[in-house]
Amino acid sequence: MNMFNKKDSSTETEAPRPAPESPARRETSAGSRAVIGSSIHVDGTLRGNEDLVIEGKVNGTVELKKNSVTIGAQGEVNADVYAHTIFVDGTMEGNLVAAERIVIRKSAKIRGSITAPRVSLEDGARFNGTIDMDPESEVLSKAFSRQADKQRPTPPTPTANGSGKAETKAAGSSAA
């Protein structure tokens, strides 16, 4: 059976609301989300197991394959983003890959590729690139196959705040 079945995925996913401007913070309760605030600039790889809202600048790779990633209206992302669900309000250049769904809002400006079994785009959004809605696409299979995850090295223990939930590997963070 296809793991990215469009017909089984009719439930709407509620987008997490972007947080008010704040520095990066992390909530530790179940179902929490991390926020990269508008003054934060991250270069590197972000991995973890909680939802993420990006209002700052991120360059590199974002891998939250079981969670949602929201690029807020102030967010500027130049990265490849892998997540369960992705919402875009801000500016994005790179590849967006979601196991479930990608939602592009009208304020979004995107250049790159979008890969997800379900994609929605509000009129007014600026997009140039490729939208791959094929649930059997190679990109989806590679990104979310269990085999691929097994081959990936285990991420080191988180050190940022001791929550034990998410890892942030920033190869040089600076305030924007």
Partner 1 sequence: MSAGAALDQPLGSPLCLRAPVFADLIGGLDEGQRHVILDLGPARSGLIERLNVLRCRLDVLDLTRHLSHLIQLQSDDDERAQQAILAKSLPSGRPEPLQIVLCWDLLDYLPLAVTARLLTLLRERLAPAARLHALVEYASPHMPISPRRIGPNLEGNLLVEATAPELGPAPRHSVGTLASHLPGFRAERSMLLGNGMQEYLFRFSAANV
Q: Which residues bind partner 1 (CB under 8 A)?
A: 6, 104, 113, 118-123, 125-137
Phi, psi angles (nearest 5°) of residue 149: -70, -35
- What is the Cα 132 distance to its own chain's centre? 17
CA 37, CA 22: separation in Å to the nearest integer? 5
Closer residue to partner 1, CB minimum distance, 36 or 116: 116
Nearest to 24, CA basis, from 48, 46, 49, 55: 55
Show the beta-strand stretches assigned E in the chain: 25-26, 33-36, 40-48, 51-54, 57-71, 76-88, 91-104, 109-115, 118-121, 126-132, 166-170, 174-175
CB of 46 to partner 1, least distance (A): 23
CB of 61 to partner 1, least distance (A): 17
CB of 47 to partner 1, least distance (A): 24
Closer residue to partner 1, CB minimum distance, 10 or 29: 10
Q: Which residues, listed in sequence order, are joined to residue 79 by a DSSP beta bridge?
A: 60
Instruction: Count CB-CB contacts under 10 A for residue 100.
Output: 17
Closer residue to partner 1, CB minimum distance, 41 or 109: 109
Closer residue to partner 1, CB minimum distance, 123 or 156: 123
Closer residue to partner 1, CB minimum distance, 66 or 106: 106
CB of 174 to partner 1, least distance (A): 29
Q: Contact 75/90 with Cβ under 8 angstroms?
A: yes
CA 137, CA 103: separation in Å to the nearest integer? 19
Closer residue to partner 1, CB minimum distance, 118 or 169: 118
CB of 175 to partner 1, least distance (A): 32
CB of 97 to partner 1, least distance (A): 12
